[in-house]
Amino acid sequence: MTPAPKPKSRRRCKCICLSVVAVILGLGLLFLILGLTVFKVKKPITTIDSVSIQDLDLSLDVARLRVLLNVTLDLGVAVTNPNRVGFKYGDSTCYIRYKGNDVAEVYVPAGSIGARDTSSMNLTLTLMADRLLSNSALYSDVISGTLPLQTYVRLAGTVRILFKFHVVTYTTCDIDINLSNRTVANQNCHYKTKL
């Protein structure tokens, strides 16, 4: 026959098990509190800091009612990561639109931004003349002296804080190019981020 366990050793085993469970619950609660406060996922912010005209060649063929136009724009794009961990984003594309049609695009390579850091990108976009000239409103816009364009940047990536969170940030800017003095006359930007 086996002797019955001593009450002291049974009590000690109970205390050890309860202590281990209490430590696990305490650590779980600590991670939950940190995850909901300090390490809460914040939305990365994409902004277009500057738009400048690198090249603008314009001529009118009045006899054929045609516009010959070549425009190259430089965009200064900044992505700010307010999180306490890095933000990794995939390959993307920046577009310029005229009256709803894509007339220029540039590849934005994948990258990462460190914790609480800002990454700047300088993008050069050349308008595709064939896409721009196919729009019948171009002639009247050139005659008026102002060319309305819209820039569009979308970055999709992940932030990893205990779990992976997918984040998509969008930026659109409505810009008016003054054709007579070759400057950006007006710029109005809108920002949106989805978790």
pLDDT digits (tens, 9 = 90+) for 52-65: 888 877 777 777 76
Q: Which residue has the tokens 């277009």?
A: 48
Query: Would 132 be classed as within a structural domain?
Result: yes
Taking the alpha carbons of 121, 126, 131, 133 in that order, is the dihedral positive or negative? positive
Burial 80-98 (b: 16+ CB within 10 A, else e): bbebeebbbbeebebbbbb
Q: What total of structural domains would you count in the chain?
A: 2
190 vs 26, residue with greater confidence: 26
**Which domain range does residue 94 map to?**
41-194
Residues 31 and 70 in one domain: no
Tell me: the pLDDT tens digits for 81-137? 888 888 899 999 999 999 988 988 999 999 999 989 999 989 898 888 777 777 888
Q: CA 79 to CA 159: how far, in whole Å?
A: 14
With cut-offs at 50, 70 and 90, classify the pLDDT of residue 7.
low
Residues 124 and 166 in one domain: yes
With cut-offs at 50, 70 and 90, classify the pLDDT of residue 6.
low
Taking the alpha carbons of 107, 115, 24, 37 in that order, is the dihedral positive or negative? negative
Residues 75 and 33 in one domain: no
Tell me: the pLDDT tens digits for 147-193? 898 989 898 998 887 678 888 988 898 988 888 887 788 888 888 88
Cross-strand bridge partners of residue 181: none
Query: Would 3 be classed as within a structural domain?
Result: no
Residues 29 and 104 in one domain: no
Residues 53 and 69 in one domain: yes
Residues 179 and 160 in one domain: yes
Q: At 151, which CATH number?
A: 2.60.40
Q: CA 158 to CA 168: how far, in whole Å?
A: 8
Give the pair of three-digit tokens for residue 133.
């000239």
- Answering whether pTM is above 0.95, one says no
